[in-house]
Amino acid sequence: MNSGKIDLHSHTTYSDGSFPPADLVALARAKELKALAVTDHDTVAGLAEAVAAGEKMGVEVIPGIEISVDYSPGTMHILGYFIDYRSNTLSASLKEIQGARNRRNPEIAKRLKALGVPVTMEEASTESGEGQVGRPHFAQVLVKKGFARDHEEAFEKFLKKGAPAYVEKRRVLPEEGIRIIEEAGGIASLAHPNQLGAATEEEFYRIFDKLITLGLKGIEAFSSCQTEAESAFYQEAGRKRGVFVTGGSDFHGALKPDVGLGEMGKWASLDYGLVEAMKKFIGKKGTV
Ligand code: AMP
Ligand code: ZN
Ligand code: FE
Ligand code: FE
């Protein structure tokens, strides 16, 4: 009953994935996933399409989101699961976040130009199609125009935090990110915790415990960007604190070509039982 493969972290063309929602769901079906969470960055624009495709194709689509929150020196992303993507409060909060992104993108283009790298806002926009523009779209253009060998090099040379074309964007605080998800009825889980860049295990637990007091209910122990040792550590952390141990590939299609849908390390122990437990939790609002 609880068996069945799942993937709780994926992106569509509405953020920086290369698959439109229906194509992503079709791929999930081909990979025999029983459930797929669609978690675009700071937007729910692809969810109605994804859910409809899921119903048609027999894949359970969990409406999700991935919110980038303010954190330094590393990166903190909060995943939200089972959110009410039609909520007006949610749309209003996301509109503000998207505004910050839209102000940042032309600034990235300006920096690139100043570096002698003519990549325009329009080119990045074209790359993103109908979705919102992010750094991976600039990376695509940089690669196409021969300024970087691949995505990784585009980030290293130009786009990553600390690189010359990196531009900060105003982000919501971690507590706001969690609150936005909770208000939309969802379960908040800490995405790829290794990207926090915590220097020690103690430091990690300090951050993790703080987030739990703010309403965090899960940790993404399994991710395509985490090693087996990291996965084991985060799995234990989640168990110790009694929160959901989640996982996902962080699939972006062609914008992260090395990562396949459903892939989060062959050591990942994740199955449909987690989805059932989460559904029970939001139904009851009990303890994890
Ligand atoms: P943005 O939301 O515009 O800040 O872009 C975030 C996206 O950039 C995420 O999906 C990451 O996968 C990707 N990204 C961030 N840092 C790197 C990096 N160093 N190398 C490759 N991709 C990255
Ligand atoms: Zn992304
Ligand atoms: Fe992320
Ligand atoms: Fe992601």
Query: For 247, phi and psi rounded to 5 degrees?
Result: -170, 155
Asked whether residue 55 carries a pLDDT value surpassing 70, the answer given is: yes
Calculate mean pLDDT across residues 170-181.
96
Q: Whose CA is nearest to atom 14 of ligand 1?
A: 136
Q: Report the first-to-last Cα separation within the chain, whole angstroms.
A: 20
Q: How close is the Cα of 135 to the center of ligand 1, in Å? A: 6
* Residues flanking ligand 1, CB < 6 Å: 16, 41, 68, 134-136, 151-152, 155, 160
Calculate mean pLDDT across residues 168-196.
96
Residue 85 in tokens? 């993507």
Compute the CA torsion angle 140, 252, 166, 118 (nearest 10 deg).
10
Question: In terms of DSSP bridges, do strands 187-190 and 218-223 run parallel, antiparallel, or are they unpaired?
Answer: parallel
Rounded CA separation 40/181 (Å): 13
Q: How close is the Cα of 113 to the center of ligand 3, in Å? A: 27
Contact predicate 262/255, CB 8 Å: no
pLDDT digits (tens, 9 = 90+) for 112-158: 999 999 999 999 999 998 889 999 999 999 999 999 999 999 999 99
For the chain, strand residue ranges (E) read 5-7, 33-38, 60-69, 76-81, 187-190, 218-223, 244-248
